[in-house]
Each structure stands twice: as structure tokens, then as C-alpha cells.
Amino acid sequence: MAPKPLPPRLPETDLTRHRRLRDQGSLERAELEAILDAGFVCHLGVVVEGRPLVVPTVYGRDERELYLHGSVASRSLAGDLPVCVTVTHIDGLVLARSVFEHGVNYRSAMIHGIARKVTDPEEKLEGLRRLTEHATPGQWSYARRPNRKELAATTLLALSLEEASVKIRSGAPDDGDGPDAELGLWAGVLPLTSVWGEPVADPALPSGTAVPGHIARRAGTRHA
Ligand SMILES: Cc1cc2nc3c(=O)[nH]c(=O)nc-3n(C[C@H](O)[C@H](O)[C@H](O)COP(=O)(O)OP(=O)(O)OC[C@H]3O[C@@H](n4cnc5c(N)ncnc54)[C@H](O)[C@@H]3O)c2cc1C
């Protein structure tokens, strides 16, 4: 039987309840999914030997879980540990009249849970497919897939998307209607966009090797 889909509203738990800047919070799961799909790098926070470790790493997902992978030697990927994963997109700098009101326009997500080590070989391969396709759609069927030895050297963690939170800031600075508006200073937003560039061929390639369409097509587009 197929598992039940996760509820469309994010749960407000002791971990996910926003305590500050609550107006920037969203409880829409669709917003969480949009943030996850707009990126492919997260920060994995985990306590290792009593100290916090925050590791940048790539991810993929399905409807229920986030997938993270790495070397079997990675201490941050031990599994069965409480973790906190964040994904952040910067949309611009908010330049206010006062330094105090300066800020960032952003979309961010935080996922809390106990990461599970995936051991079933088929599930592991499917998780790795999701991860590869999340960063580069089309690449799983183009590139050589992992062999048995490579699979054995790879840890795959799955983290439920159940307990997660979202925060989004957009728009102008907040001091346009305060006393600082009289200062006569420029204020506004300096937008920031990340766009894929033209593919750069490996110099080791035989000349004339064509760039596959699924890669060439991305030049000039944003990740989504
Ligand atoms: C690019 C960027 C820059 C920022 N710069 C600053 C800054 O300079 N100073 C500052 O005070 N704040 C900044 N923030 C906001 C910051 O991330 C926190 O939301 C805020 O500081 C509240 O922190 P807290 O510890 O009081 O969180 P709490 O409100 O106590 O957090 C409770 C729960 O809310 C959720 N939550 C909190 N923050 C986020 C988030 N960003 N995204 C998703 N879920 C979240 C989590 O589930 C968390 O466990 C920035 C955010 C981004 C994305």
C-alpha cells in the first residue's frame, strides 16, 4: 500500500514553531517543496562527538524524504542521529535608511528529524537517482551509474520532510514610513540572481564531443 501523502500544512511543533520574525513564516508545504526544488545544496547540522558540525552537501528528494549522500567514512552521515538541515536562497540585499533595518530577502527551509541510513540496495539506488536528477535532470540516464563497489563506498541518508519550517522575506525595507524616511537617503533592494553559465568542456574530451541537450539547455536559466 502506498504511504499516505504528507499533510499540505506544515506542523507547528516545539521544534518548528517560529519564535522571532513570525510574520516571515509559512505553513504551506508547497512553499517548502518550492524552496527545496529551487536549490540542490543544503547545510546538514549534526552533533558529532559532542560538538556541532554543519556540513554543506547536495540533496535530492521525493514526496516524503530528503536524500543526502557521501562517503561511508563521513561522521556527519552516521545515521540514526537527530539532524537539522537548512536550505537557503538569497534573493537580494535589503538596504534600508538605517543600518539596524538592513536585511536580506530570502527563502529558507529548515527540516528537523532523525536521519535514517538507507541499506536496501534498490532503495539506495533510487535515492541516488533522485539526488543526481535533482541537481542535473537527465544525468542519471546519461552518465554511468554506480557499480557495486561505488555503492558500498557510499552512505545514503533519508530524512523525513514531515517536521519542517519555512521562512520567506520579500519586498522593500521596513523603514519607509518611519522617521528615517526624512533623511533623504536612497533605500531599496539590490536583487541577486544565480543563473547557469555556458558549459565548459573537459579539456580531456576528444574534440567534437557534443554537449548533451539536457546540459546545454540549462545555460542562461535558473535552477528549478
Ligand atoms: C540569509 C538569511 C540571513 C539572515 N540574517 C539574519 C540576521 O542577521 N539576524 C537575525 O536575527 N536573523 C537573520 N535571519 C533570520 C534567521 O534565520 C532566524 O529566522 C531568526 O534569527 C530567528 O532565529 P531564532 O533562533 O530566534 O529562531 P526561532 O524563531 O527560535 O526558531 C524556531 C524554529 O523556527 C524555525 N526557523 C527559524 N528560522 C528559520 C529560517 N530562517 N528558515 C526556516 N525555518 C526557520 C525552525 O524550525 C526553528 O527551529 C536570516 C535568515 C536568512 C535566511
**131-189 residue pLDDT tens:** 999 999 999 999 999 999 999 999 999 999 999 999 999 999 999 999 999 999 999 99
Query: Nearest to residue 85, comparing CAs of 165, 167, 169?
Result: 165
Residues 130 and 218: their CA atoms lie apart, in Å, by 18
Handedness of CA 139, 140, 146, 151 (dihedral sign): positive
Residues 161 and 7: their CA atoms lie apart, in Å, by 10
Which of 12, 20, 112 is the pocket-test mutation for ligand 1 (most atoms within 8 Å of CB)? 20
What is Dmax (Cα atoms) for the chain? Answer: 67
Q: For residue 32, what pLDDT band results from cuts at 50, 70 and 90?
A: very high
What residue ranges line ligand 1, CB within 6 angstroms?
15-21, 88, 90, 104, 106, 108-110, 165-167
Shortest-distance atom of ligand 1 to CA 108:
42
Residues 48 and 26: their CA atoms lie apart, in Å, by 31
Say how many residues make up the chain: 224
Residues 134 and 99: their CA atoms lie apart, in Å, by 38
Cβ(94)–Cβ(170) below 8 Å = no
206 C-alpha vs ligand 1 centroid, how far in Å?
Answer: 49
218, β-bridge pairs: none
pLDDT digits (tens, 9 = 90+) for 43-65: 999 999 999 999 999 999 999 99
141 C-alpha vs ligand 1 centroid, how far in Å?
Answer: 38
Residue 106: what pLDDT?
A: 98
Query: Nearest to residue 166, comparing CAs of 53, 17, 66, 46?
Result: 17
Shortest-distance atom of ligand 1 to CA 90:
1
Residues 61 and 131: their CA atoms lie apart, in Å, by 7
111 C-alpha vs ligand 1 centroid, how far in Å?
Answer: 13
- How confident is the prediction for the chain on average, in pLDDT? 96
147 C-alpha vs ligand 1 centroid, how far in Å?
Answer: 41
Cβ(124)–Cβ(130) below 8 Å = no
pLDDT digits (tens, 9 = 90+) for 85-139: 999 999 999 999 999 999 999 999 999 999 999 999 999 999 999 999 999 999 9
All residues at 6 or more sequence positions from 25 whose CB lies less than 8 Å from its CB, including other chains: 18, 165, 166, 167
Residue 134: what pLDDT?
A: 98
Which of 10, 105, 106, 108 is the pocket-test mutation for ligand 1 (most atoms within 8 Å of CB)? 108
**Closest C-alpha to ligand 1, atom 52:** 106
Q: Is the pLDDT of residue 3 over 90?
A: no
Residue 89: what pLDDT?
A: 98
Number of CB atoms found within 10 A of residue 81's CB: 15
Shortest-distance atom of ligand 1 to CA 109:
43
Residue 21: what pLDDT?
A: 87
203 C-alpha vs ligand 1 centroid, how far in Å?
Answer: 43
Residue 47: what pLDDT?
A: 96
Residues 45 and 221: their CA atoms lie apart, in Å, by 30
Residues 209 and 39: their CA atoms lie apart, in Å, by 29
Amino acid of residue 160:
S
pTM, two decimal places: 0.96
